[in-house]
């Protein structure tokens, strides 16, 4: 199965557009989109959504999300990957890295894994 992405709400909506320029069939939604969690949803609820929807989270939330991931896993929850954005990353670099992740790997490879992007 191809990697499917959920972009955190604090990321620019332009990242979704930049990623789709590589290939418009990439399955990417952003928090706040009609088919994604609503804006302001708690991190815990987002993690439950990720598990059910089999999506990799793309986020720069390194303050609260790590603790919520630990709690989620402590309750037996799993996730389909978390891509942490390196501080100072440019939009084009992020889109290129996500595109590479989408083309060169399968979703199952990222189960409960994290990566820093860009590589």
One-character DSSP codes across 29-61: EETTSTTSPPTT--HHHHHHHHHHHT-EEEE--
Distance CA 11, CA 9 (A): 5
Helical (H) or strand (E) element with 103: helix 91-104
With a cut of 90, say whether residue 62 has pLDDT above it: no
> Helix axis angle, 65-74 relative to 43-53, nearest 10°?
60
Q: Looking at residue 18, what is its pLDDT?
A: 97
With a cut of 90, say whether residue 63 has pLDDT above it: no
Which among 16, 34, 32 is positioned nearest to 98, based on CA atoms? 16
94 CB burial (10 A radius; 0-12, 13-18, 19+): buried
Report the percent of the chain where pLDDT is more than 90: 92
With a cut of 90, say whether residue 12 has pLDDT above it: yes
Report whether 41 contacts 31 (CB < 8 A). Answer: yes
Q: Looking at residue 33, what is its pLDDT?
A: 96
Q: Looking at residue 24, what is its pLDDT?
A: 96
CATH class, range 5-117: alpha beta
Span 19-52, pLDDT tens digits: 999 999 999 999 999 999 999 999 999 999 999 9
For the question of whether the overall pTM of this predicted structure is more than 0.85, the answer is: yes
């Amino acid at each position: 199965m191809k990697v499917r992405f959920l972009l955190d709400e604090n990321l620019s909506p332009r990242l979704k557009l930049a990623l789709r320029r590589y290939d418009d069939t990439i399955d990417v939604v952003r928090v706040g989109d009609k088919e994604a969690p609503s804006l302001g949803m708690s991190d815990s609820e987002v993690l439950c959504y990720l598990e059910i929807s089999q999506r990799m989270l793309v986020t720069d939330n390194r303050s609260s999300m790590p603790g919520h991931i630990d709690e989620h896993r402590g309750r037996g929850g799993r996730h389909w990957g978390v891509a942490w954005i390196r501080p100072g990353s440019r939009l084009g670099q992020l889109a290129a890295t996500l595109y590479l992740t989408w083309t060169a790997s399968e979703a199952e490879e990222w189960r409960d894994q994290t990566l820093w992007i860009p590589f």
